[in-house]
Structure 1
Amino acid sequence: MSRLDSMMRRLAAQRDGLEWGIGLIGALEGDIVDMGLGNGRTYDHLREIAPDRRIWVIDRVLQCHPSCVPPEQDFLQGEAEDMLIKLADATAGIALAHYDFGFGDKGKDVAEAARLSPLIAKIMVPGGVVVSGQPLVGMEQVRGPESVAPDRYCFYKA
């Protein structure tokens, strides 16, 4: 599979997974967190599909497209571990989390996801959903939307 096809498959899985997750949380109380803003595409999509939810964003640096800059009070800039701890103190809980942190090195990415998993689990409300580009540990993995191959994206319930 070409890198272009792989990227298109990943982005479609991400979109389908987020929309599936929004459908699953329904009336569940809680905010949303996008872990890894990047250029802001995912954050922008979350704003569109969940306009009534507060969306927190975590990233080391703010370097997204100008149309995708989150409100200052919702952007937690810094190292993931510190920002997840800060988020736990700032919100009553997260109903939907999107995990997209990464270094671009699969081994490092998987290790960081495992290291951060307990902090992610701590911020989730019971019944909350995590949509993740990396495998997480300590949460119940569930089958995501049928349109997403099981090895392409990971889905969890808190």
Structure 2
Amino acid sequence: MSRLDSMLRRLTAQRDGLNWAVAQISDMEGDVLDMGLGNGRTYDHLREILPDRRIWVMDRVLQCHPSSTPPAEDFLQGEAEPMLEKLGNGGPKIALAHYDFGRGIKENDVAEAAHLSPLIARVMRPGGLLISGQPLVGFEQIKGPDTIAPDRYLFYRA
């Protein structure tokens, strides 16, 4: 599979997974957390499909497209570990989290996701959903939408 086809498959899975998750949490209170802002495409989509929810965003640097810049009060800038600790110290409980951290080196990205998993667990509402491109630990893995190939995108319940 070409890198272009792989990217299209990943982005389609991400969109389909987020849309599916929104329906799953419709009766659940809580905020949303987008881990890994990047250029802001996912954040922009979350804003569109969840207009009445507060969406927290974290990343090392703010370098997204200007139209996808989160409000300053919702952007947690810095390394993931201290930002998750900050959010977990009496902060909001998250109903839906999207994990998209990574530098493109699979073994390093998997290790980082495992390391951050306990901190992510502290910010989640019981029963909340996590969607991730990397395996997370300590959560119940669940089946996502049928349109997504197994292990293309991962789905968890807190």
Scaled to the shorter chain, the TM-score interval is over 0.9
| Paired residue secondary structure (1:10) | helix
Which has the higher mean CA deviation after the structures are superposed, 35-44 or 82-91?
82-91
Aligned ranges 1:82-101 → 2 under 5 Å: 82-89=82-89, 91-101=91-101
Equivalent residues, number: 158
Render the CA deviation track for 1:98-118: whole Å, top value 9, x for unaligned: 000001100100000000000
Within the alignment, does 1:117 sit opposite 2:140 as a pair? no
Render the CA deviation track for 1:30-85: whole Å, top value 9, x for unaligned: 10000000000000000000000000000000000000000000000000000001
| Corresponding position of 1:134 | 134
TM-score by length of 1: 0.98
The percentage of aligned residue pairs carrying the same residue is 72
Which whole-Å CA distance do the structure 2 matches of 1:55 and 1:62 have between them? 15
Runs of 4+ in 1 over 4 A off after TM superposition: none
RMSD: 0.7
Contact 1:31 1:91 in 2 (8 A): no
The runs of 5 or more residues in structure 1 that have no matched partner are none
| Corresponding position of 2:39 | 39
| Corresponding position of 2:103 | 103
| Corresponding position of 1:150 | 150
Render the CA deviation track for 1:78-98: whole Å, top value 9, x for unaligned: 000000011113633000000
| Paired residue secondary structure (1:156) | strand
The runs of 5 or more residues in structure 2 that have no matched partner are none
| Paired residue secondary structure (1:95) | strand
| Paired residue secondary structure (1:62) | coil
| Corresponding position of 1:69 | 69
Which whole-Å CA distance do the structure 1 matches of 2:106 and 2:57 have between them? 23
